[in-house]
Homo-oligomer: A and B are copies of this chain.
């Protein structure tokens, strides 16, 4: 039996599954102060006889297995969790090894194993919501190095008509500061779902997201890009983003998937919905 945790900013999903990747039992608990949430986690797993535990978590979190602070939260906006040694505590209390990755890396892996990227060797998963985050899966591993990627914070060129200063507390007008949900709301005065009919909103949004995708393509060359998250529920964004990406690349990268004939198969929505995170977390400890 294997354990899996999807640790999100609002809820924790806890599950046990088997070595074939099937979820056999699952519960959801709210994300509160660690002193309330973590005992519930331990309580859930303590009699389940799990051999290992996989965790996909919100970040920033130390995912370097060689680091003395492996599994420790870093300077997350959720202040109760800053520097909380989540991995070490679970490992100690449950006496099992814990494998930790970011929620977006785990989502990329899930899409590669079970979702919309099962036919390729690499994919990039991007979520555009309260923040912008991305994970990548290349040749059987999630991408990480010095730390985990923070792809939402790249610098982008400003849209010529955009006067909004940006919402990122660290960089003002990085990608997340200009294109995540809170930036949309502050720039236009309403939430995204109340702006659905205003074409200029989505043209500007697509300009920023396409610029990011273009940079990701130049740097990572993924075989598929999956775009999820609350903002991407505005489906009119997909054709605008695809068209902008083709224009920005300007034919420089040779691939049929970067032409108008096939880009619909290249930039796609997620194939998984509810179980992506928890199935990916289980997969972290499967082989």
Q: Which residues of B contact A60 (CB under 8 A)?
A: 253-254
The answer to whether A85 has its CB under 8 Å from any CB of chain B is: no
The answer to whether A121 has its CB under 8 Å from any CB of chain B is: yes
Q: Decide if the interface of chain A is mainly helix, strand, loop or mixed.
A: loop
A75: which of B141, B147, B254 is its contact (CB, 8 Å)? B254
Tell me, in angstroms, the Cα distance from A222 to B146 when the chains sit together.
6
Query: Which of A143, A146, A254: most chain B Cβ within 10 A?
Result: A146
Q: Which residues of B contact A211 (CB under 8 A)?
A: 155
**Do B147 and A215 touch (CB < 8 A)?**
no
A22-71 at interface with B (beta carbon < 8 Å): 60, 62
Q: Which of A5-13, A244-252, A268-276, A279-287 contacts B (4 or more CB under 8 A)?
A: A244-252
Tell me, in angstroms, the Cα distance from A75 to B253 when the chains sit together.
9
Q: Which residues of B contact A154 (CB under 8 A)?
A: 214-215, 218-219
**Do A220 and B149 touch (CB < 8 A)?**
yes
A219: which of B139, B220, B223 is its contact (CB, 8 Å)? B220
A82-129 at interface with B (beta carbon < 8 Å): 121-122
Question: Residue of B at shortest CB range from A148?
Answer: B221
Question: Residue of B at shortest CB range from A250?
Answer: B170
A146: which of B74, B156, B221 is its contact (CB, 8 Å)? B221
The answer to whether A145 has its CB under 8 Å from any CB of chain B is: yes
The answer to whether A81 has its CB under 8 Å from any CB of chain B is: no
The answer to whether A240 has its CB under 8 Å from any CB of chain B is: no
Tell me, in angstroms, the Cα distance from A262 to B42 when the chains sit together.
39
**Do A146 and B219 touch (CB < 8 A)?**
no
Question: Residue of B at shortest CB range from A72?
Answer: B254
Q: Which residues of B contact A144 (CB under 8 A)?
A: 221
The answer to whether A257 has its CB under 8 Å from any CB of chain B is: yes
**Do A220 and B143 touch (CB < 8 A)?**
yes
Within the complex, the shortest CB–CB distance from A153 to chain B, in Å, comes to 5
Question: With A222-B145, A223-B146, A257-B146 in contact, do A252 and B157 touch (Cβ < 8 Å)?
Answer: no
**Do B219 and A252 touch (CB < 8 A)?**
no
Closest 3 CB pairs of A and B: A145-B221, A122-B145, A154-B215
Give the B-binding residues of A (Cβ under 8 A): 60, 62, 74-75, 121-122, 138-139, 141, 143-158, 170-171, 211, 214-223, 248, 250-255, 257-258, 266
